[in-house]
Structure 1
Amino acid sequence: MIVKNIHTSTVQKVFRIILGLFMIMAAVGHMTFQRAEFQAQVPDWVPLSKDLVVILSGIVELVLGVSMVFLSKFKVWVGLALAIFYVLIFPGNIAQYVNEIDAFGLDTDKKRLIRLFFQPVLILWALWSSGALKALLNKKSS
């Protein structure tokens, strides 16, 4: 996919930066004070230590967050990468729901279920705010 410079509005830029900052904060949590809660979300079938998965995903979040904030020239690619990341970590959210794991204040089935519906919102947020959604739609129509 060849991506030309996709114009995004000021609102999209602000939301892209907010999402990037959110990712940076999540990365800090992965590597410090929320580490145990993030470990609780790693599905048992993942063949790596839960701590390693949390640290590695925290590093990926940090890179993606910093990229969303500062790499505006590559914002479409970063938005696509972040959307893919959200898809890849979704099984952890499902595992938390299915296995009834309390973490991040999600201490009821209802709260854990509601959270599952926010993952598509994050995916769309990453795609829309970065201009990736527009790029994908333009590619489809050409």
Structure 2
Amino acid sequence: MKLIVPTTLLQDVFRIILGTLMAFAAVAHFTFERADFQAQVPDWIPMSKDLVVILSGIVELGLGLCLVFWAGEKVQLGIALAIFYVLVFPGNIAQYTNHVSAFNLNTDRARLIRLFFQPVLILWALWCTGALKYLFYPGK
């Protein structure tokens, strides 16, 4: 089912920016930030940390490219990306609670501040795709 929610030019620009950032983050998963991403994987995940990083990078790449190039399904993509951000949030919490230095977050204060940016990413994904309007004002 295709969900059509009109978005503004500003929302479309921010959707493309977010998609580009997601694709860049995926490249970082596979290359120059791989060790930092591995450091964020909680120990309770029953898989290899490297496999988790590769799989999450694949998801990020797919979502990022879809946000940029597949605007016809942007509401579903926004919801999917918001869910992805929720699913990776335990890694951010683990980085804070385990005092893990990664991504130049070398203090508990910096790691704590980062936790507050996850809701911003969730709202960004939902807003720029029209999913926020769809979820809170269905039928409009």
Number of aligned residue pairs: 140
Identity %: 66
**Is 1:129 aligned with 2:95?**
no
Deviation at 1:137, TM superposition (A): 1.2
Query: 8 Å contact 2:2–2:73 — kept in the other structure?
Result: no
Partner of 1:18: 17
* Counterpart AA for 2:107: T
**Is 1:49 aligned with 2:48?**
yes
Deviation at 1:4, TM superposition (A): 3.5
- Is the partner of 2:36 in helix, strand or coil? helix
What do residues 87-123 of structure 1 show as CA deviations (whole Å, max 9, x unaligned)? 0000000000000000000000000000000000000
What do residues 8-43 of structure 1 show as CA deviations (whole Å, max 9, x unaligned)? 000000000000000000000000111000000000
* Counterpart AA for 1:96: Q
Structure 2 runs not aligned, ≥5 long: none
Q: What TM-score do the two structures reach when normalised by structure 2?
A: 0.97
Partner of 2:110: 111
The root-mean-square deviation of aligned C-alpha atoms, in Å, is 1.2
Partner of 2:78: 79
* Counterpart AA for 1:13: D
Deviation at 1:3, TM superposition (A): 5.2
Q: Distance in 2 between matches of 1:114 and 1:5?
A: 35
| Structure 1 runs (4+) greater than 2 angstroms displaced | none
For residues 77 and 4 of structure 1, do their structure 2 counterparts lie closer, same or farther at Cα, with a shift above 3 Å needed? closer
Query: 8 Å contact 1:3–1:135 — kept in the other structure?
Result: no
What do residues 47-71 of structure 1 show as CA deviations (whole Å, max 9, x unaligned)? 0000000000000000000011011
